[in-house]
Amino acid sequence: MLYFQKERKWAMEKIKEREPSAELKILRLLNPRMNLQDYQHYLNLEKGFAGELQLDIWLEGLTNDCLVVNDLLLEHKGKAFQIDSFVVFQSIIYVFDSKYHEGDFYLDTNKWKTLAGKEINSPQPQMERAESLLRQLLQQRLNIDIPIESLLVFTHPEFYLYNAPPTLPAIFYNQLHRFMKKMNSMASKLNRSHESLAEQLIAQHLNKFPHTRLPEYDYEQLKKGVVCGKCTSFMVEGGRVWVCGECGYKENAQTAIIRSVEEFQLLFPDRKITSATIREWCAVNGDRKKITRTLSNYFKRMGKGPASYYID
């Protein structure tokens, strides 16, 4: 995840890739297998992640000497905050807060509203809170003092905000190109201290959001079977290949089973992988040997007989 080239090139270097949050990963696995209580929350997370991917695509356009760090979860003085992307240039750090709102909104003094007048959460205070905590963290804990500028980045082409003042710290869809040009034409030459800054921030990254709310789930209640990797419908076993009943996607039986075992591990990190459990988890009919053979090919078998289980 983290790497530095020995000799830095004069170009944008991405040093931390984006991944879906642990919460989103779990909800993606649960969604086909149970009715999520708060389905809307899951959709919001998916939408947020889609927006972050759009931000990444935009940042691919960087050609200047800079470092891009994605998806940081930090904590300062007991307060957690998230940073979608930050870009380190020689004498400024840009912090980008991805926004993927769609449709028309308007600003009523500081309140954000839909055209129907319904108030939505203003994204600005949250961004400003993150910026303030980041600045304190850099100054107080890491002793770094480079100016920080935070901006909301609206990447959905069908978003419009009425009444937006020019002072709003935002980059709108039709400004993305020009802002990129601006970043690429700044004088910037990084040195080891900039790399060290990024390294130190990444070292502070928390892997788990402290207050993630996951739905309650247990093994018995989840629908069993192999879920299609393309469309999340259930697949049908057909000898050496599994076929998706919905989109027709075909997958080698072993690959499909191993993928399902990985899903099982993520959902139930404390449960042992046994051939009986995986056979049930994947809803495999008939010969148990198929599962045993597949598991033996990819995992290390511990113990013998019915009590045996598999580890990575």
The footprint of Zn ion (CB under 5 A) covers: 228, 230-231, 233, 244, 246-247, 249
> For Zn ion, which is the closer residue by CB, 11 or 247?
247
Q: CB 236 → Zn ion: shortest distance, Å? A: 10
Q: CB 29 → Zn ion: shortest distance, Å? A: 15
Q: CB 245 → Zn ion: shortest distance, Å? A: 8
> For Zn ion, which is the closer residue by CB, 245 or 303?
245
> For Zn ion, which is the closer residue by CB, 2 or 247?
247
> For Zn ion, which is the closer residue by CB, 208 or 230?
230
CA separation for the pair 12, 88 (Å, rounded): 10
Q: CB 229 → Zn ion: shortest distance, Å? A: 8
> For Zn ion, which is the closer residue by CB, 210 or 245?
245
> For Zn ion, which is the closer residue by CB, 152 or 282?
282
> For Zn ion, which is the closer residue by CB, 232 or 296?
232
Rounded (5°) CA angle 272-276-279: 110
Q: CB 227 → Zn ion: shortest distance, Å? A: 9
Q: CB 243 → Zn ion: shortest distance, Å? A: 9
Rounded (5°) CA angle 69-72-100: 85
Q: CB 247 → Zn ion: shortest distance, Å? A: 3
Q: CB 294 → Zn ion: shortest distance, Å? A: 21
> For Zn ion, which is the closer residue by CB, 235 or 273?
235
Mode of pairing for the β-strands spanning 66-76 and 79-88: antiparallel
**3-state SS record for the chain:** CCCCCCCCCCCEEEEECCCCCHHHHHHHHHCCCCCCCCHHHHHHHHHHHHHHHHHHHHHCCCCCCEEEEEEEEEEECCEEEEEEEEEECCCCEEEEEEECCCEEEEEECCEEEECCCCEECCHHHHHHHHHHHHHHHHHHHCCCCCCEEEEEEECCCCEEEECCCCCCCEECHHHHHHHHHHHHHCCCCCCHHHHHHHHHHHHCCCCCCCCCCCCCCCHHHCCCCCECCCCCCEEEEECCEEEECCCCCEEEHHHHHHHHHHHHHHHCCCCCECHHHHHHHCCCCCCCHHHHHHHHHHCEEECCHHHCEEEC
Q: Environment class of residue 34 by beta-carbon count within 10 Å: exposed (0-12), middle (13-18) or buried (19+)?
A: middle
